C-alpha cells in the first residue's frame, strides 16, 4: 500500500513540475519505488529522476529536485522528509507513525492481508503436472506440482480467477498407452502362471506388477482367454484408470487439487483434433509431404517443420496438444500458463508457432520450464526407486520427509535452476532446516498469545492502541518486512516466480526472531506490551498467509524431539 501511494505521489509531482514549467517530458516512464539496502538511504527510494533525465535534458539530480519540490501536500501525512541523493535517487524518510499504520492495516485485513486487485478478475488457466498415466508421479512431477500450485495460489491472491487443469495423455492409439497395457497384461499372465515375456520397451517397475495383481484380485482369470485385441483394450482402460487414481491420490495428499482433468482422448472424441488440423490446412500452415502431414512451424520461428499426422495416418502427440491449446484459447482465458519439464523445452517453439499459425497471440501463453531435481541422502545421490525402477516417486519422498518440508524445498529455488534435495537435511529437526525456521517463528507467536491468555492479558483493540511506541530498530525492521507482502505477491505473479515467496517467508521469520530476542513482549510496560502484542499478531497473520500460499502448514506449537 505504501509503495503504490508513494509512486502515485511521485508521479503527481512529476506532472505538477511539468505544469509549472520546471520539467519537460512526453510520457511518464515506468519507475520503481524500491527499498534501499542501506537504511541510511531512507525507507523507500524512487528512481524516476534518472529515467526522466534524458527526456528532460537535465541532469538527474536537478530533475529529482524539481519532482521533490512538487510533491503533493498530503504526502506529509506519512513522509517526514525527502532527500535527493546519489545519481538522482529520491529518498523518502517516513514518519514514525508509519509503522503503526502498517500494523493497523494488516490487522484490519486479517487473513486477507496480501490480497490484491491486480488481476481484476482476469481469467488464468494453469495446466501443470499432466503426467503420463503410465506410471506413478515422480520426484520431478512433485516440483511441477509444487511450483504450479503455489503459482496458482499467488494468482488467486493477486485477484485473478484461476483454473487448475491436468491434461491426461491418454490417446487410445498412442504407443505408450498400448505399451503400458501390454506390460500390465504380461505381468497378469505371469501371475496366472502362463509363459509371457515383457515387451522390449515395456514398463518394468514394481507398480506394474501391483496393477496386474489388483486386476487379478478383482477379475480373477477372466482375461486369460478372449480376443487378444479386446483384452488389450480392456487393460488399457483399467491400467490407465488405476494409475490416474493413484496420481490423484498422491496430489491430493500433497495438497494439490485440480479443477479439471482433461483427457486427450476426449479431444479426439469431440473431433477437436480433426478440426484443428483442418483449420491449420485452411490457413495454409499444414501441408502433405512423404505421406505425412506437417506443421509449417518454420514460418513462426521454429527451426524445422513438425509432423502432425504420421504417414500411417496416426496423429502425433503434437497434433492433439495443438488441438488442446487451441481449445484453451477458445475458452477465452486472458492468460494461459503451462509448466513443463526441462526435457520438453524443445517443444516450446513449435507450440507457440502452432498458436501463431492458428491466429492466436502466442504471448498470452506462458510456458514455464523447470529444471531437473536431484535427490541426495547426505552426499550420496539417490537414483533408483524400488517401486518405479529408474524413477524416484513423489510418494516415497513425501512419506519420508513430509509434505511441508518437501513443498518448501521445491520452492526454495527458482524453477530455472536444477534443484538438489537432501533427504537428511529435509528430515532434520534443526536450525539447518529452513522450513522449521519459518514454522518455528509462527509457533513462537502462538506461544506468546497462549501465555498472554493464561496470564489474563487481553488482546488489545487496534483502534484504541497507540502504535507510535513501536520505534525499536528490530520493530521497525519487522514492520518493513510485513509491509512487503503485497509487493512480493505482485512480483511473484509478474515474474511467474513462486520461489520468491519462500525467500520472503524466511525474511519475515528472520525479522521476527530478531525482534523476539531484542524486544520482550509480555512484561513490557503496558502501552508497549499492547503495541507489541498487535505487532506480533500482524506478524502471525503475515506468516500464516505466506505459508498458506506455499501450501505449508503454520503450526500452533512445535515441540522439539529429544535428539540425544
Partner RNA sequence: GCCCCCGUAGCUCAAUGGACAGAGCAGCGGCCUUCUAAGCCGUUGGUUGUGGGUUCGAGUCCCGCCGGGGGCGCCA
Is residue 376 a contact point for RNA (CB under 7 A)?
A: no
DSSP 350: H
Q: How far is the CB of 463 from RNA (least distance, A)?
A: 23
Q: Which of residues 396-415 bind RNA (CB under 7 A)?
A: 412-414
Provide the 3-class DSSP secondary structure of residue 77: helix
Q: How far is the CB of 267 from RNA (least distance, A)?
A: 12
Partner residues linked to 382 by β-bridges: 375
Strands 44-46 and 306-309: unpaired
Q: Of the candidates 20, 77, 270, 311, which one interacts with RNA according to CB under 7 A? A: 311
Is residue 416 a contact point for RNA (CB under 7 A)?
A: yes
Q: Which of residues 467-526 bind RNA (CB under 7 A)?
A: 491, 495, 497, 499-500, 503, 506, 510, 513-514, 516-523
Q: How far is the CB of 220 from RNA (least distance, A)?
A: 31
Closer CB to RNA, 336 or 490, in the complex: 490
Is residue 218 a contact point for RNA (CB under 7 A)?
A: no
Strands 161-168 and 260-263: parallel
Is residue 373 a contact point for RNA (CB under 7 A)?
A: no
Is residue 223 a contact point for RNA (CB under 7 A)?
A: no
Q: Which of residues 78-97 bind RNA (CB under 7 A)?
A: 85-89, 91
Closer CB to RNA, 165 or 333, in the complex: 165
Q: Which of residues 131-150 bind RNA (CB under 7 A)?
A: 132
Q: Of the candidates 245, 278, 430, 471, which one interacts with RNA according to CB under 7 A? A: 430
Q: Of the candidates 292, 382, 527, 544, which one interacts with RNA according to CB under 7 A? A: 292
Is residue 391 a contact point for RNA (CB under 7 A)?
A: no
- Nearest alpha carbon to residue 524 among 532, 534, 513, 535: 532
Is residue 36 a contact point for RNA (CB under 7 A)?
A: yes
Is residue 57 a contact point for RNA (CB under 7 A)?
A: no
Sign of the C-alpha dihedral computed for residues 206, 207, 210 and 212 taken in this order = negative
Is residue 448 a contact point for RNA (CB under 7 A)?
A: yes
Which position has the grid cell 537504511?
Answer: 39
Contacts of 197 (CB under 8 A, 6+ apart): 186
Closer CB to RNA, 191 or 446, in the complex: 446
Is residue 28 a contact point for RNA (CB under 7 A)?
A: no
Contacts of 552 (CB under 8 A, 6+ apart): 403, 404, 407, 408, 435, 438, 439
Number of helices (H), then strands (E), belonging to the chain: the values are 20, 15
Count of residues that interact with RNA, criterion CB under 7 A: 99
Is residue 27 a contact point for RNA (CB under 7 A)?
A: no
Which position has the grid cell 503450526?
Answer: 555
Provide the 3-class DSSP secondary structure of residue 379: coil
Q: Which of residues 451-470 bind RNA (CB under 7 A)?
A: 451
Q: Of the candidates 40, 117, 218, 225, which one interacts with RNA according to CB under 7 A? A: 40
Tell me, residue by residue from 94 to 133, as one string, x for binding to RNA by CB under 7 A and - for no binding.
--------------------------------------x-
Q: Of the candidates 436, 480, 482, 541, which one interacts with RNA according to CB under 7 A? A: 436
To which H or E segment does residue 196 belong? none
Q: Which of residues 226-285 bind RNA (CB under 7 A)?
A: 264
Is residue 345 a contact point for RNA (CB under 7 A)?
A: yes
Is residue 312 a contact point for RNA (CB under 7 A)?
A: yes
Q: How far is the CB of 225 from RNA (least distance, A)?
A: 30
Sign of the C-alpha dihedral computed for residues 491, 494, 495 and 501 taken in this order = positive
Q: How far is the CB of 305 from RNA (least distance, A)?
A: 9
Strands 373-377 and 419-422: parallel
To which H or E segment does residue 125 belong? strand 123-127
Provide the 3-class DSSP secondary structure of residue 373: strand
- Spatial separation of the C-alpha atoms in residues 52 and 54, rounded to whole Å: 6
Q: Of the candidates 213, 230, 278, 429, which one interacts with RNA according to CB under 7 A? A: 429
Closer CB to RNA, 51 or 546, in the complex: 51
Residue spans of beta strands (DSSP E) within 195-344: 260-263, 286-289, 292-295, 306-309, 335-341
Closer CB to RNA, 42 or 255, in the complex: 42
Is residue 15 a contact point for RNA (CB under 7 A)?
A: no
Q: How far is the CB of 332 from RNA (least distance, A)?
A: 26
Asked if residues 534 and 519 have their Cβ atoms less than 8 Å apart, the reply is no
Is residue 546 a contact point for RNA (CB under 7 A)?
A: no
- Spatial separation of the C-alpha atoms in residues 56 and 51, rounded to whole Å: 9
Q: Which of residues 177-216 bind RNA (CB under 7 A)?
A: none
Closer CB to RNA, 192 or 474, in the complex: 474
Strands 161-168 and 365-370: unpaired
Sign of the C-alpha dihedral computed for residues 482, 487, 492 and 493 taken in this order = positive
- Spatial separation of the C-alpha atoms in residues 407 and 465, rounded to whole Å: 38
N- to C-terminal Cα separation, the chain = 48
Closer CB to RNA, 391 or 436, in the complex: 436
- Spatial separation of the C-alpha atoms in residues 185 and 176, rounded to whole Å: 14
Q: How far is the CB of 400 from RNA (least distance, A)?
A: 16
Is residue 169 a contact point for RNA (CB under 7 A)?
A: yes
Q: In 3-state terms, the chain is what percent helix, strand and coil (to 5)?
A: 55, 15, 30
Closer CB to RNA, 430 or 471, in the complex: 430
Q: How far is the CB of 29 from RNA (least distance, A)?
A: 9
Is residue 50 a contact point for RNA (CB under 7 A)?
A: yes
Closer CB to RNA, 63 or 99, in the complex: 63
To which H or E segment does residue 164 belong? strand 161-168
Q: How far is the CB of 393 from RNA (least distance, A)?
A: 18
H helices present in 393-522, as ranges = 394-401, 403-410, 423-427, 434-454, 473-483, 485-494, 499-518
Q: How far is the CB of 201 from RNA (least distance, A)?
A: 9
- Spatial separation of the C-alpha atoms in residues 166 and 154, rounded to whole Å: 18
- Spatial separation of the C-alpha atoms in residues 204 and 198, rounded to whole Å: 8
Q: Of the candidates 8, 19, 343, 380, which one interacts with RNA according to CB under 7 A? A: 343
Is residue 528 a contact point for RNA (CB under 7 A)?
A: no
Asked if residues 427 and 397 have their Cβ atoms less than 8 Å apart, the reply is no
Amino acid at each position: 500500500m505504501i509503495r503504490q501511494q508513494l509512486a502515485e505521489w511521485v508521479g503527481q509531482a512529476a506532472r505538477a513540475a511539468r505544469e509549472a514549467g520546471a520539467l519537460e517530458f512526453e510520457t511518464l516512464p515506468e519507475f520503481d519505488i524500491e527499498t534501499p539496502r542501506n537504511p541510511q538511504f531512507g525507507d523507500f527510494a524512487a528512481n524516476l529522476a534518472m529515467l526522466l533525465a534524458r527526456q528532460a535534458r537535465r541532469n538527474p539530480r536537478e530533475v529529482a529536485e524539481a519532482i521533490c519540490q512538487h510533491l503533493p501536500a498530503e504526502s506529509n501525512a506519512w513522509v517526514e522528509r525527502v532527500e535527493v541523493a546519489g545519481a538522482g535517487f529520491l529518498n523518502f524518510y517516513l514518519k514514525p507513525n508509519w509503522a503503526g499504520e502498517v500494523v493497523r492495516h494488516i490487522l484490519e485485513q486479517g487473513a486477507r492481508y496480501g490480497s490484491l486487485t491486480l488481476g481484476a478478475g482476469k481469467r488464468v488457466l494453469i495446466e501443470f503436472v499432466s503426467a503420463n498415466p503410465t506410471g506413478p508421479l515422480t520426484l520431478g512431477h512433485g516440483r511441477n506440482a509444487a511450483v504450479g500450485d503455489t503459482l496458482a495460489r499467488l494468482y488467486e491472491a493477486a485477484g485473478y480467477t484461476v483454473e487448475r487443469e491436468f491434461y491426461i495423455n491418454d490417446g487410445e492409439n498412442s504407443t505408450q498407452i498400448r505399451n503400458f497395457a501390454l506390460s500390465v497384461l504380461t505381468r497378469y499372465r505371469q501371475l496366472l502362471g502362463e509363459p509371457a515375456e515383457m515387451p522390449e520397451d515395456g514398463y518394468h517397475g514394481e507398480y506394474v506388477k501391483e496393477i496386474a495383481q489388483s486386476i487379478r484380485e478383482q477379475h480373477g482369470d477372466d482375461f486369460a482367454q478372449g480376443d487378444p485385441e479386446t483384452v488389450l483394450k480392456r487393460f488399457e482402460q483399467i491400467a490407465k484408470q488405476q494409475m490416474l487414481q493413484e496420481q490423484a491420490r498422491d496430489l491430493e495428499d500433497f495438497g494439490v487439487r485440480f479443477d479439471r482433468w482433461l483427457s486427450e482422448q476426449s479431444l479426439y472424441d469431440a473431433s477437436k483434433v480433426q478440426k484443428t488440423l483442418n483449420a491449420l490446412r485452411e490457413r495454409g500452415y499444414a501441408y502433405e509431404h512423404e505421406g505425412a502431414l506437417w506443421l509449417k512451424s518454420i514460418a513462426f520461428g521454429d527451426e524445422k517443420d513438425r509432423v502432425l499426422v504420421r504417414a500411417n495416418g496416426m496423429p502425433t502427440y503434437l497434433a492433439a496438444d495443438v488441438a488442446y491449446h487451441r481449445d484453451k484459447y477458445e475458452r477465452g482465458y486472458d492468460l494461459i500458463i503451462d509448466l513443463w519439464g526441462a526435457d520438453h523445452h524443445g517443444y516450446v517453439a513449435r507450440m507457440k508457432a502452432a498458436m501463431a499459425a492458428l491466429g492466436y497471440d502466442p504471448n498470452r501463453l506462458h510456458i514455464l520450464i523447470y529444471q531437473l531435481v536431484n535427490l541426495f541422502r547426505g552426499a550420496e545421490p539417490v537414483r533408483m526407486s524400488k517401486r518405479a525402477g529408474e524413477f524416484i516417486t513423489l510418494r516415497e519422498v513425501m512419506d519420508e520427509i513430509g509434505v511441508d518440508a518437501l513443498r518448501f524445498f521445491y520452492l526454495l529455488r527458482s524453477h530455472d535452476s536444477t534443484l538438489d534435495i537432501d533427504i537428511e537435511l529435509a528430515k532434520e529437526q534443526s536450525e539447518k532446516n529452513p522450513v522449521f525456521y519459518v514454522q518455528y517463528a509462527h509457533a513462537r507467536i502462538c506461544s506468546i498469545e497462549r501465555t498472554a491468555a493464561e496470564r489474563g492479558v487481553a488482546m488489545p483493540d487496534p483502534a484504541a492502541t497507540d502504535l507510535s511506541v513501536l520505534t525499536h530498530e528490530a520493530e521497525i525492521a519487522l514492520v518493513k518486512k510485513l509491509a512487503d507482502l503485497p509487493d512480493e505477491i505482485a512480483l511473484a505473479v509478474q515474474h511467474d516466480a513462486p520461489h520468491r515467496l519462500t525467500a520472503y517467508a524466511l525474511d519475515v521469520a528472520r525479522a521476527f526472531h530478531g525482534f523476539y530476542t531484542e524486544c520482550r513482549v509480555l512484561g513490557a510496560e503496558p502501552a508497549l506490551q499492547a503495541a507489541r502484542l498487535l505487532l506480533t499478531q500482524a506478524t502471525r497473520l503475515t506468516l500464516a498467509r505466506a505459508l498458506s500460499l506455499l501450501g505449508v502448514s503454520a503450526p500452533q506449537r512445535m515441540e522439539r524431539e529429544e535428539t540425544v
